Amino acid sequence: MRRLEPAAIGGVMSRELANFRTYWKGTTFSSVLEPIVYLLAFGLGLSATLVDEVNGVPYIEFVGTGMVATAVIFSSALPAMFGTFVKHRFQNTYDAILAAPVDVEELVSAEMLWIGLRSGTYGCVPLLVTIAFGLDPAWGMLLVPFFCFVTALGFAGFGVAMAATVAKIDQFNYVTALCITPLFLVAGTFFPIDGLPQGVQDVAQLNPLHQLVELVRGGAFGFEAIDIARFAFLVAFALLTWRVAVSRMHNRLID
């Protein structure tokens, strides 16, 4: 048998899809509305009063393309953390799944793939809204869902690993405050990071959300040669968190 059986991964994902049909309206509403609110508040509010454009780009378009990354992390890392914790600790869902011919690696891979597909779709919403506010469509934007999917895989793996690490659900407050919020704020979404101190800029270059922001803006305004390295960074991030998530969940689920 192969290490990762497509039938096992497909079975877990089909279960997630069947379950998603029962609550998709609420999840979609929150995942779509939150980045739109940020877009309208910062994009329209600041562009009308304080900032006209950034680096030659209208501020509403600058924020709108950056908000793609915000939509991705909110719809991947947080659902992965809380969803995994609840299904494992409270609902015993994973115990039931592992009773079938599915191992931990296939279980984690399926969870990450499902969250990646869902988050990759939600991540495109701010871009579509920005187009409605005047952003000119470009062929490079067709790659944005793929960029979002790869980034969401990485943050899904991060969320699963955190869920397998913390002892109590309220400890996610530390993860959100110490990891997710700083990544969200120092991603170049609302302001270019080249205005920050050099040390902060160096750290921001290691932020997967910043890489996604630059890739999305490349798709909208023109790619650069360095964008290949940015995409490679996101792939490496996804692979790393996948292996960490598998290891942490294996330690948690298998006695």
Residue 151's alpha-carbon distances to 21, 53, 74, 154, 210, in angstroms, are 24, 27, 12, 5, 11
DSSP state of 101: S
Phi, then psi, of 53 in degrees rounded to 5: -155, 160
pLDDT confidence band for 93 (50 / 70 / 90) = very high
**CB-CB contact of 212 with 234 (8 Å):** yes
Write the pLDDT tens digit of every residue in 213-233. Answer: 999 999 998 888 889 999 999
pTM score over 0.75: yes
Residue 123 carries which DSSP code?
Answer: T
pLDDT above 70 coverage of the chain, percent: 95
Higher pLDDT, 40 or 115: 115
| 191 confidence band (pLDDT: 50, 70, 90) | confident
User: 88-92, 103-107, 189-193, 210-214 — which is least confidently predicted?
Assistant: 189-193
**Which residues are CB-contacts of 133 (< 8 A; sequence separation ≥ 6)?**
43, 60, 61, 64
pLDDT of residue 193: 85
3-state DSSP call for residue 149?
Answer: helix
What gap in Å lies between CA 25 and CA 31, rounded to an integer? 10
Residue 48 banded pLDDT, cuts 50, 70, 90: low
Chain mean pLDDT for the chain: 88
CB 246 within 8 A of CB 105: yes
Confirm if 183 and 207 have CB atoms less than 8 A apart: yes
pLDDT of res. 2: 62
pLDDT value, residue 94: 93
Q: Where are the alpha helices (DSSP H) in the chain?
A: 6-20, 24-38, 45-49, 59-74, 77-85, 93-98, 104-122, 125-132, 144-163, 172-175, 181-185, 198-204, 208-221, 227-253
Share of residues in the chain with pLDDT > 90 (%):
53
Examine the pLDDT at 50 and tell me if it is beyond 80. no
What does the alpha-carbon distance between residue 123 and residue 212 come to, in Å, rounded to a whole number?
11
Q: Read out DSSP for 45-75? A: HHHHHT-SEETTEEHHHHHHHHHHHHHHHHT
pLDDT tens for each residue of 2-46: 678 999 999 999 999 999 999 888 888 877 777 678 777 776 666
pLDDT for 145 = 94
Residue (of 83, 253, 210) closest to 156 by Cα position? 83
Cβ neighbours of 12 (radius 10 Å): 21
Give me the residue spans of the domains in the chain.
Answer: 6-253
pLDDT surpassing 70 at residue 188: yes
pLDDT tens figures, 130-182? 888 788 898 999 999 999 999 999 999 999 999 999 999 999 999 999 999 98
What does the pLDDT average to over 181-209?
A: 86
Instruction: For residues 236 and 202, give the distance between their C-alpha atoms in angstroms, rounded to a whole number.
Output: 18
Say which range, 37-51, 71-85, 115-129, has the weakest mean pLDDT. Answer: 37-51
